[in-house]
Structure 1
């Protein structure tokens, strides 16, 4: 029990990591714990639009573990493309450390979920990735491009980073977002 409680308390540190986008109506940046909660519920709402039938509890599990490594590594904006392999290796080490607090069987199961998310090979992982990539876009569209403008992110960079994962996992969501991105471009909501 002590190991499980230690793990639960270790997860609390995710609340102290800062992301680059602000929650709607708030003058602070969100944290990955809030992000994970929101995309888990977004997946439930968007499940009927998944590219393939998905096991929703598995999708939610993937979304809840996908950013746990940021406890050690911090968050890097979704639109940053450089250093990706180094960041992923560091995040993998962090995930092994954090999940490793648990008894071995539980730790292995959670690392396997993290790997599944990263590999994007199952319908659940592709759908989870779609939701994960869509959320910062949806927030930026709703808050006048706040993090795009603050960080010099262009329309082309957003599309290059999110189009394929969203299209692959939730095509109707991409159709919706693509049209809204075009309007946002006309309105000058991008930083470059």
Structure 2
């Protein structure tokens, strides 16, 4: 047991509470990465019984909890910054690779390797759990946008409401949830246009 390194890791992980995302909360405060991660995990628990395939809940929740951990070192880069910029996308990938290796090495044990493996599973989206985790990650971000004041939306975010399907099209339940979230976003945009 190396509890000293575990404690060092937990001090590092505190950074997710301070790392801010582009998203804003309904009360006008900027969202932290940790807050986003918490609700993605809660979404997984709330929707699991509706999923058409059985999921390994423990694996799914672990993957969700660590999926943004790299942002402690690599910072949060909004999706719209990487959409049409190959250079930014590649730099983000490299920074996150270095970050997950640093995390694995800091823990220096089986847990570090498990975090490393789960992070790659999430990134590669080959398993059902990884696909679900990725879909929920994107859906939660849109839910948060829908809850925030429309003034916090960038012009590109009006378009991004309609891009969620590529993350959910593998699963009918997630696709239906996407439709509900998308409709909520469209309603918010239309309401703003009427003002």
What's the TM-score bracket when you normalise by the shorter of the two chains?
Answer: 0.7 to 0.9
Partner of 2:31: 30
- In the alignment, structure 1 segments of 5+ residues that lack a partner are none
Partner of 1:19: 21
Matches of 1:100 and 1:70 in 2, distance apart? Answer: 16
Matches of 2:24 and 2:155 in 1, distance apart? Answer: 16
Using the TM superposition, give the Cα deviation of residue 94 of structure 1 relative to its aligned residue in structure 2, in angstroms. Answer: 0.7
- String of CA shifts for 1:26-52, please: whole Å, max 9, x gaps: x32111111111111111011133353
The TM-score normalised by the length of structure 2 is 0.85
Using the TM superposition, give the Cα deviation of residue 154 of structure 1 relative to its aligned residue in structure 2, in angstroms. Answer: 4.1
Matches of 2:136 and 2:190 in 1, distance apart? Answer: 25
- Paired residue secondary structure (2:116): helix
1:95 to 2:100 alignment: yes
Name which of 141, 156, 161 aligns with 1:158. 161
Higher helix content, 1 or 2: 2
Q: Which moved more, 1:71-80 or 1:116-125?
A: 71-80
Partner of 1:175: 179
Using the TM superposition, give the Cα deviation of residue 11 of structure 1 relative to its aligned residue in structure 2, in angstroms. Answer: 0.6
Partner of 1:46: 47
Matches of 2:33 and 2:135 in 1, distance apart? Answer: 16
Matches of 1:146 and 1:139 in 2, distance apart? Answer: 13
Higher strand content, 1 or 2: 2
1:77 to 2:78 alignment: yes
1:61 to 2:62 alignment: yes
Partner of 1:135: 140
Q: Which moved more, 1:28-37 or 1:137-146?
A: 137-146
Name the CA shift for 1:174/1:51 in 2 (closer, same or farther; >3 Å): farther
The TM-score normalised by the length of structure 1 is 0.87
- In the alignment, structure 2 segments of 5+ residues that lack a partner are none
- Paired residue secondary structure (1:7): helix
- String of CA shifts for 1:116-175, please: whole Å, max 9, x gaps: 000111110111111100112111112243542xx3324333323x22113335222112
Matches of 1:48 and 1:76 in 2, distance apart? Answer: 32
